[in-house]
Structure formats: structure tokens, C-alpha cells
């Protein structure tokens, strides 16, 4: 398997594990010092990130995956606050594990739904 395919497989395996709520497996694919930067907040460290993942129980529907070197881009849908949103996630790997994730999406539907509840 080429390094590009390996990076893509690591990310897809992590997302699959999160979908299945197998957080131990997902955690094993992430560096301890992983960083997350998103529209609604940031987290420093894998433990903080996975605490959120366990609470949120997100389910990804992947539409497309691209990889170049140690970088992987996913286009996907997530359901948050009862709203399905289209997202883009940029994953960077170091030493074969996810070291950073940057996510962008339009948060307005989520914020509006949260304000109503």
C-alpha cells in the first residue's frame, strides 16, 4: 500500500470507528497531541477531542475522500442538533497517525436549531 493510500485508510478507519462508537479503536489512530479546529470550537489533545466525540455521537456519511502525502480531505455530511450539514475535514498525519483535523461547514442551521431548543 502506498503512503497516500495508508493515510487515507487511517482516516477512513478512524471515521468508521467513530460511526460505530468504537472510540478505543478510533483513539489508537490518533496522536496524543492531536489538534482539532472547527467552526464551533477547538480542542488540544486527543483526550479532549474524544471526550467530545463520545458525548456528541456523530455519524459521518462520507461523500468523497482525497489524499496527497500525509494529508487527507473528506467531504461528508453530519447530523448535529437534528440538522444535516455538509462538511469538509482536512486531516494531517504524522508517523502514520492523525495529528490534526480542521473542519469547516456552515453552522447557521445548527445554531438556529440549538436556539429553538
CATH of the domain at 62: 3.10.450.50
Question: Residue 21's pLDDT is what?
Answer: 94
Q: Mark 38-50 as b/e (b = at least 16 C-beta within 10 Å).
A: beeeebeebeebb
pLDDT tens for 38-86 read 998 899 999 999 998 998 888 899 999 999 999 999 999 998 777 899 9
pLDDT tens for 8-35 read 999 999 999 999 999 999 999 999 999 9
Question: Residue 112's pLDDT is what?
Answer: 83
Identify the helix (H) or strand (E) that includes residue 38: strand 30-38
- Report DSSP state, residue 106: -
- The mean pLDDT of 106-113, rounded to a whole number, is 84
Give me the domain span that covers residue 52.
3-116
Domains contained in the chain, number: 1
Amino acid at each position: 500500500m502506498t503512503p497516500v493510500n495508508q493515510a487515507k485508510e487511517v482516516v477512513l478507519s478512524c471515521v468508521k470507528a467513530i460511526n460505530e462508537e468504537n472510540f478505543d479503536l478510533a483513539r489508537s489512530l490518533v496522536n496524543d497531541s492531536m489538534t482539532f479546529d472547527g467552526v464551533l470550537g477547538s480542542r488540544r489533545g486527543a483526550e479532549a477531542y474524544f471526550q467530545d466525540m463520545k458525548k456528541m455521537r456523530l455519524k459521518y456519511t462520507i461523500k468523497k475522500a482525497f489524499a496527497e502525502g500525509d494529508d487527507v480531505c473528506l467531504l461528508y455530511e453530519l447530523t448535529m442538533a437534528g440538522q444535516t450539514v455538509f462538511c469538509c475535514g482536512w486531516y494531517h498525519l504524522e508517523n502514520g497517525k492523525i495529528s490534526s483535523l480542521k473542519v469547516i461547514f456552515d453552522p447557521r442551521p445548527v445554531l438556529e436549531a440549538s436556539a429553538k431548543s
